[in-house]
Amino acid sequence: MKSLSEIETVSKRASRAAGYSWGVAEEVAKNIRLLEMFNLPGIKNLNSFFKKKKELRLENISLINKDNEANKNEYCPIIAGVNCLDQIRTLESLNEITFKKVAYPLLFLPFISRASEVIGKRIFLKIDDREFLLNFNNNIYSNHTKNEIIESAENIYLKVLENRDSFEEKEWNELYKLSEETFVEENESLKQGGAGAGLTDND
């Protein structure tokens, strides 16, 4: 089994050889490490993408808007991802963002996972019929478990989720009340034994 360090190093070098700058290649390497760590087929998709990259004639996107659609071909998932991550503080206010026609969308996903950590909010991502919940770049929940290559996505939708408790206030209050039973009632003995409460003055 290949180590995450090996995966990151080879991905970085392969990305540079495929025509990306060293800076972008480093971002791709972090992403592939992330995908593999979460048991998603990063290497498989990256390898296939690089083999077909020249014939795809991909479009690049620099400024991300609420709705983004490639003109003739498909968006490059790496350039779209880099710019989306770079602009996430601005994009956060849009709440919902769509992309139409993106090549190898699984390579786009880890940029959004990392964006979730940057803004401190969960992000719901939908790639056609595949759904992903990105949790602060700590884990990814998904209804997609196949170890497959996804060559194209017609629609990508992402929504920034507001931070909310998963429980009712009543439930919190009940649990808090139970926790109070562990509180120790202060008495004179505890006061004298506490920090700084010694009877001897050494000054």
Say if 196 falls within a structural domain. no
Domain enclosing residue 152, as ranges: 4-160
What pLDDT is stored for residue 2 in this prediction?
Answer: 96
Compute the average pLDDT of residues 78-102: 97
What pLDDT is stored for residue 41 in this prediction?
Answer: 96
The C-alpha atoms of residue 81 and residue 71 are separated, in whole angstroms, by 18
What pLDDT is stored for residue 184 in this prediction?
Answer: 78
What pLDDT is stored for residue 135 in this prediction?
Answer: 96
Say if 46 falls within a structural domain. yes
- pLDDT digits over 152-197, tens only? 999 999 999 999 999 999 999 999 999 999 987 666 665 666 555 5
Please count the helices (runs of H) and the strands (runs of E) in the chain: 8, 6
- pLDDT digits over 29-87, tens only? 999 999 999 999 999 999 999 999 999 999 999 999 999 999 999 999 999 999 999 99
- What is the domain count for the chain? 1
Compute the average pLDDT of residues 99-122: 98
Say if 106 falls within a structural domain. yes
What pLDDT is stored for residue 146 in this prediction?
Answer: 85
The C-alpha atoms of residue 78 and residue 61 are separated, in whole angstroms, by 10
What pLDDT is stored for residue 27 in this prediction?
Answer: 98
What pLDDT is stored for residue 157 in this prediction?
Answer: 98
What pLDDT is stored for residue 144 in this prediction?
Answer: 80
Say if 178 falls within a structural domain. no
Say if 201 falls within a structural domain. no
Say if 113 falls within a structural domain. yes
Say if 65 falls within a structural domain. yes
At 145, the pLDDT band (50, 70, 90 cuts) reads: confident
Measure Cα distances from 62 to 27, 68, 70, 169 in Å. Answer: 16, 11, 12, 44
The C-alpha atoms of residue 183 and residue 93 are separated, in whole angstroms, by 43
Q: Tell me which DSSP letter residue 107 carries.
A: G
Say if 165 falls within a structural domain. no
Compute the average pLDDT of residues 7-20: 98
